[in-house]
Amino acid sequence: MNNIINEIKEHNIGYWVATGIIVYTPIPVNFYIVKEKVCEYFKVDPFDIEIKSRKSNLVRARQMIAHIMLTETNITLSDLGHKLGRDHSTMIHSRDIMEFRTKYETSTKIDYYECRKLIGLN
């Protein structure tokens, strides 16, 4: 039974329930959906994410988008930075900050899981 489940997980068949077996496969993550849902959660305009602003609500949303994209996809730091109007070194900083915050700050951890729920990543 475990061999079947492992084989199905390996081949990315998806969520389904058949004969009592629940199988997990990651949902494909799209940058624009992540951006839209995170902006909705933080109540910011998606167009403002790419502007050169250091307002805390925009920075938190931008960092959350970066964290979700880096953990759920294989996007490069350069490509992600380009989509967010930043360079790769900013994405490195964002990745490091969010790894720390999601580990040690309860509020950021809650924000992270709430954003994942909105996107459809449980």
What's the pLDDT tens digit per position in 35-68? 999 999 999 999 999 998 899 999 999 999 999 9
- The percent of residues above 90 in pLDDT, for the chain, comes to 68
Residue 29: pLDDT band by 50, 70, 90 thresholds?
A: confident
Question: What domains does the chain contain, in order, with CATH numbers?
Answer: 31-119 (1.10.1750.10)
CB atoms within 10 A of CB 58: 19
Looking at residue 28, its pLDDT comes to: 73
Quote the DSSP letter at residue 52. S
Helix axes 88-104, 56-72, angle to 10 degrees: 90
Q: Which residues pair with 18 in a beta bridge?
A: 21
Average pLDDT over residues 88-115: 95
Q: Please, what is the angle between helix 31-42 and helix 106-119, to 10°?
A: 130
Q: Record the tokens describing residue 106, joined without a space.
A: 């309860």
What's at 26, amino acid-wise? Answer: P
Task: Tell me what pLDDT residue 17 has.
Answer: 47
Predicted local distance difference test score (pLDDT) of residue 26: 55
pLDDT-derived band at 15 (thresholds 50, 70, 90) equals very low
